Amino acid sequence: MISDCNTGKLKQFYDNAHDDPLYCLLVMDENLLASGDDNGTVKLWDIRKSDPICSLKEMDDYVSCMATTEVQKYLVCTSGDGTITSLDLRNRKLHIQSEVYEAELTSMAIMRSETKLLVGSSNGTLYLFNWGEFGYHSDEFPGIKHGINCLLPVTENIVVCACEDGVLRATHLFPQRHLGVVGQHQLSVESLDISNDGQFIASCSHDQKIKFWNVKYFEDIQVDGKRKAKKAELHHNLPSSKCTNVSDFFSGLI
């Protein structure tokens, strides 16, 4: 359904758009959108027309996330079958499909001026791909032991991961570092978004709460590439977190 936000009225209704339940939606521009369902089917829609302009079934499980760049050459989809599938939007056919990964691939973020694609998985591993080269990852970032439901780029180097355990974690890509905990929910975090000025992010969870976090401090974070990464960084509480680090508590004692 397409609604007019100014009037609240329904503008367009696509009855029986998919044979299976819809799982994700991507608005590509003012006229084009893509929809993915639980059975691996992706459809492209032009809201000026009554029927989909393209329908492709290249995945064997649900379409978890979809992404494209400004030039809209490829539509990249992650799936519960453990694959990344790239669709050629100009020719409306399969471009390339990755090897099958062990875990479900659940989320994506386009980074580094649209040259890198970061992919999250159900086992907490992050995979990095060069844009256009989706057959196999160029790097991976282990460490997070919980499923990643959503990825949100905050800067060209920093991404926030919404995790199954209710924790928001920040990761720095180049050099690779887990920066720590941005915030917490009691239940799994399902969605993230960022304000236009980049100062606040919003998160929503199965606890039926939407929370806002001030992440302006990311602008000032400096990462030392020569220093060896530590596991403790995963649990370090950043300024937006509601929790206090043990080291901060003892630093005030004489």
**Residue 191: per-residue pLDDT:** 95
DSSP 3-state of 247:
helix
Q: Per CATH, which fold does 146-253 belong to?
A: Methylamine Dehydrogenase; Chain H (2.130.10)
Query: Is the separation of the CB atoms in 16 and 55 below 8 Å?
Result: no
- Parts of the chain with a pLDDT under 70: 225-235, 242-254
The Cα 69–Cα 54 span in angstroms is 19
**Domains of the chain: which residue ranges?**
1-142, 146-253
pTM: 0.88
- Quick one: which H or E segment has residue 218? none
Do 1-142 and 146-253 share a fold?
yes
User: Which pLDDT score is estimated for 243?
Assistant: 63
Q: Which amino acid is at 219?
A: E
CATH 2.130.10.10 fits 1-142, yes or no: yes
